[in-house]
Amino acid sequence: LYDDNHQEHVLDVNNGEIFYNLSNQESNIQGFAFSSDLSYLYSVGKNRKTIDAHKLSVARDISTSTHLQNPFYIGNKESAPTSFYISKDGAYFYILGIVQDSVIRYEMSTPWLLTGAKDIGQTSIFQQTDDAQGVFLDDIGSKMYVANTSVIYQYSLPDSFNTKSASFLGKYFIPTLINPFNTEIRDLYISPNGQKLFVADSNASSNVYCYNLDTAWDISTANYISGNNLVVGNSQPAVS
């Protein structure tokens, strides 16, 4: 996802093709995520403070997206959302923001459907950062990752997917991993096998950087893959 003069686009990293313009729903999208079967795309925006769902009639093919009505309002819980994550079973979604400095967890009564979702608690991350930009969980909900502009914080979740059970494990300063690049982290994503980390940079270069994780799901073992990055231009990128 990237922002080009307030036009929000989703692109294919394989060839850079723009598939879907989201700006008709929201001109300041902060994060997005796909369902595990790639049949839904979700986006969260700062202007309307809502989550929008988009149905893909052909899985993986964003060009077949249709915007679903009745966006889900989150402004009563977080007025400046910066990131969105949805669990792999579609049971929970998570909002990160810089007003509450918390990860807010919602439960969906019907998997993947936002209608009727309920807030079931929030977890403050203020002791670690007051400028959080991205949130991500591993596939089994045992680890949580929060990024600010230069650091990724790692937490364990003894009670799977329950962010209230979060225990802080450590922080990892990303720019030192890719020196001499001057990175300002905008978002993060970890591959399903936990072996690759992708970091979206919102500085002028607006790159998406890739790292190997020598130990799966452990940010402390990240090693920058030299030259393996995507340049998306003058934008505010997010990754999913």
Mean pLDDT of each 10-residue bin along the chain, 240 residues long: 49 56 68 89 87 88 81 94 94 95 96 94 92 93 92 95 96 63 78 90 70 93 71 54
CA 198-203-206 angle, to 5 degrees, is 50
Quick one: DSSP state of residue 32?
Answer: E
- The predicted pLDDT at position 176 comes to 47
- The predicted pLDDT at position 187 comes to 86
- The predicted pLDDT at position 184 comes to 75
- The predicted pLDDT at position 182 comes to 60
pLDDT digits (tens, 9 = 90+) for 129-152: 888 899 999 999 999 999 988 889
Are the beta carbons of 77 and 119 closer than 8 angstroms? yes
- The predicted pLDDT at position 181 comes to 54
Q: Which two tokens stand for residue 114?
A: 């936002």
Omega of the bond leading into 71 within 30 degrees of 0 (cis): no
Give the torsion sign (CA, 109, 112, 115, 119): positive
Question: How far apart are alpha carbons 158 and 93 in whole angstroms?
Answer: 18
Are the beta carbons of 193 and 230 closer than 8 angstroms? no
- The predicted pLDDT at position 180 comes to 46
- The predicted pLDDT at position 9 comes to 55
Q: How far is CA 25 from CA 7, 9, 39, 42, 207, in A?
A: 10, 12, 19, 12, 25
